[in-house]
């Protein structure tokens, strides 16, 4: 049986069309008469916008647990006094509930795919499987050398890839994640890249996030973090680099040359006081740039649409130029470039595309009147306008009701966990 979405508007449509979803694929797009088959379930979309859904290209899903915890203290204090003590106490089942909470929020925001880096990854992979979204998952490895823990970290990654890469009908892919240049030794980096190449995995890392990190690295090696990675051969595998807040023009050239995809995380960089990444330089330099929310602890939302709006406004404010980033280009960052960043096939609500479809209502006072759909979405819509989410043809959200799992139970479990951790 197929599902027929009646009267949706894609960004390029002047008139509503019908979209037929058969299995995990969009098989036809056209008028009702042209594409309907007997037995199709008809969903009346009533003129809602239809998008391929948003991609969150860098996050740490379970960190929703820390949302709004001590958000006015400096980064080092925040990590040492608040974040790490709690994270050390987390058990796999805790991480599973927190990941589900994050996925409930993500689906409600129209997110169809996430790139997550954390620990207790089996628990996260189970949550992703239940949720129905697509994910690039990785274990954030931290080790000064292969001898000092690096071997074990790499083994964890490889075991995780053995179990989960390609699992859940191919919705899960595994990445190799040396956490950052300053947390992994050179031999750990080299072995990570070798593993990624051998297993055909993406590399997902944090890069040049803060000014301090870059300054320290230059003092230590004479090189910026990206130049250092290039020197040790660590950009040989396709790489998704989060943040890239403080980079040079040479770094940007290097990204373009090596096909490094950037996960631009403007809200997290702002909230943590890290600064602003040079988005316009990435785009002008031909670097594929997606958007990421980072963990909710430093955002505090997993709302890609809001991230996009912030990215767009910040680019215009910084450049003092309205053309710095158009609404349509911004949408591309959260969709096409996001999918590219995660290694996903393209999707654009066209026949033959994976049936990743998000419906957005544009009936509120805040989206009236409507002159241009891309502009309405990027500048005026809010995530609560998302009514339906399909991933690989499976409905995860229908008329704002989460179908994938029991959201109330998830909230209850996370509230219990937060209370338990506060008592400790």
Residues of this chain, 191-220, that bind its own copies according to CB under 8 A: 211
Q: Which is nearer to its own copies, 64 or 240 (CB)?
A: 64
| Residue 201: CB minimum distance to its own copies, A | 30
| Residue 311: CB minimum distance to its own copies, A | 11
From candidates 15, 33, 88, 320, binder to its own copies by CB under 8 A: 320
Helices (H), 335-385: 336-342, 373-375
Q: Which is nearer to its own copies, 25 or 276 (CB)?
A: 276
Q: Should residue 423 be labelled a site residue for its own copies when binding is judged by CB under 8 A?
A: no
Contacts of 66 (CB under 8 A, 6+ apart): 82, 83, 86, 295, 296, 297
Residue 285 · residue 254 · CB < 8 Å: no
Q: Which of residues 349-378 bind its own copies (CB under 8 A)?
A: 364-372, 375-376
Tokens 């027929």, located at residue: 4
| Residue 91: CB minimum distance to its own copies, A | 17
Binding mask 136-175 for its own copies (x = CB under 8 A): ----------------------------------------
Cβ burial, residue 371 (10 Å; 0-12/13-18/19+): exposed
Q: Which is nearer to its own copies, 117 or 362 (CB)?
A: 362
Residue 311 · residue 318 · CB < 8 Å: no
| Residue 248: CB minimum distance to its own copies, A | 17
| Residue 13: CB minimum distance to its own copies, A | 17
Q: Should residue 302 be labelled a site residue for its own copies when binding is judged by CB under 8 A?
A: yes
| Residue 300: CB minimum distance to its own copies, A | 4
Q: Which is nearer to its own copies, 100 or 229 (CB)?
A: 100
Count helices and strands (H / E) in the chain.
17, 16
Closest by CA position to 393, among listed 25, 93, 33: 25
Q: How many residues of this chain bind its own copies (CB under 8 A)? A: 71
Q: Should residue 87 be labelled a site residue for its own copies when binding is judged by CB under 8 A?
A: no
From candidates 87, 116, 165, 300, binder to its own copies by CB under 8 A: 300
Tokens 């023009």, located at residue: 249
Give the Cα separation of 297 and 299 in Å (integer). Answer: 6
Q: Which of residues 247-286 bind its own copies (CB under 8 A)?
A: 266-267, 269-276
Give the Cα separation of 152 and 147 in Å (integer). Answer: 9
Instruction: Output the six-digit token pair for 32.
Output: 């009702």
Q: What are phi and psi of 334, to 5 degrees?
A: -85, -10
Instruction: Output the six-digit token pair for 182.
Output: 């300053």
What is the Cα 138 distance to its own chain's centre? 13
Give the Cα separation of 410 and 402 in Å (integer). Answer: 12
CA distances from 194 to 151, 237, 256, 378 (A): 13, 8, 22, 40
| Residue 271: CB minimum distance to its own copies, A | 6
Q: Which of residues 52-81 bind its own copies (CB under 8 A)?
A: 64-65, 67-75, 78
Q: What are phi and psi of 62, to 5 degrees?
A: -65, -10
Q: Should residue 380 be labelled a site residue for its own copies when binding is judged by CB under 8 A?
A: yes
Q: Should residue 182 be labelled a site residue for its own copies when binding is judged by CB under 8 A?
A: no
From candidates 22, 32, 42, 319, binder to its own copies by CB under 8 A: 319
| Residue 318: CB minimum distance to its own copies, A | 8
Q: Should residue 16 be labelled a site residue for its own copies when binding is judged by CB under 8 A?
A: no
Helices (H), 54-210: 75-77, 84-88, 92-108, 121-131, 151-164, 186-199
Binding mask 89-108 for its own copies (x = CB under 8 A): ------------x--xx--x
Q: Which is nearer to its own copies, 198 or 400 (CB)?
A: 400
| Residue 68: CB minimum distance to its own copies, A | 4
Instruction: Output the six-digit token pair for 289.
Output: 């740039």
């Amino acid at each position: 049986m197929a599902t027929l979405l009646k009267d949706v508007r894609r960004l390029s449509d002047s008139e509503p069309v019908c979209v037929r979803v058969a299995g995990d694929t969009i098989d036809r797009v056209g008028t009702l008469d042209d594409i309907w088959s007997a037995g199709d379930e008809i969903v009346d979309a009533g003129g809602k916008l239809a998008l391929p859904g948003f991609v969150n290209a860098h996050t740490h899903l379970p960190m929703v647990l820390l949302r709004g915890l001590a958000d006015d203290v400096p980064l080092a204090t925040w990590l040492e006094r608040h974040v790490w003590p709690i994270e050390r106490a987390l058990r796999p089942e805790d991480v599973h509930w927190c990941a589900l909470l994050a996925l409930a929020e993500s689906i409600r925001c129209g997110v169809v795919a996430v790139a997550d880096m954390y620990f207790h990854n089996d628990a996260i992979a189970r949550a992703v499987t239940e949720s129905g979204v697509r994910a690039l998952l990785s274990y954030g490895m931290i080790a000064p050398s292969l001898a000092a823990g690096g071997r074990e970290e790499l083994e964890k990654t490889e075991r995780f890839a053995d179990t989960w890469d390609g699992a859940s009908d191919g919705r899960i892919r595994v990445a190799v994640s040396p956490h950052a240049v300053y947390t992994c030794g050179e031999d750990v980096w080299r072995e990570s890249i070798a593993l990624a190449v051998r297993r055909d995995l993406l590399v997902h890392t944090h890069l040049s996030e803060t000014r301090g990190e870059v300054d320290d690295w230059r003092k230590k090696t004479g090189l910026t973090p990206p130049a250092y990675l290039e020197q040790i051969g660590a950009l040989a595998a396709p790489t998704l680099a989060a943040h890239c807040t403080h980079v040079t023009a040479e770094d940007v050239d290097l990204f373009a040359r090596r096909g490094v995809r950037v996960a631009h995380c403007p809200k997290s960089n702002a909230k943590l006081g890290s600064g602003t990444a040079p988005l316009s330089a990435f785009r002008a330099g031909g670097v594929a740039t997606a958007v990421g929310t980072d963990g909710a602890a430093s955002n505090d939302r997993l709302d890609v649409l809001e991230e996009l709006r912030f990215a767009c406004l910040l680019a215009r404010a910084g450049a003092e130029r309205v053309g710095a980033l158009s609404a349509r280009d911004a949408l591309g960052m959260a969709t096409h470039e996001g999918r590219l960043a995660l290694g996903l096939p393209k999707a654009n609500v066209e026949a033959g595309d994976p049936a990743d479809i998000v419906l957005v209502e544009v009936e509120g006072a805040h989206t009236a009147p409507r002159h241009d759909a891309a502009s309405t979405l990027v500048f005026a819509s809010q995530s609560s306008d998302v009514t339906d989410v399909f991933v690989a043809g499976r409905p995860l959200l229908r008329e704002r009701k989460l179908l994938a799992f029991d959201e109330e139970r998830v909230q209850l479990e996370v509230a219990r966990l937060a209370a338990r951790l506060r008592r400790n």
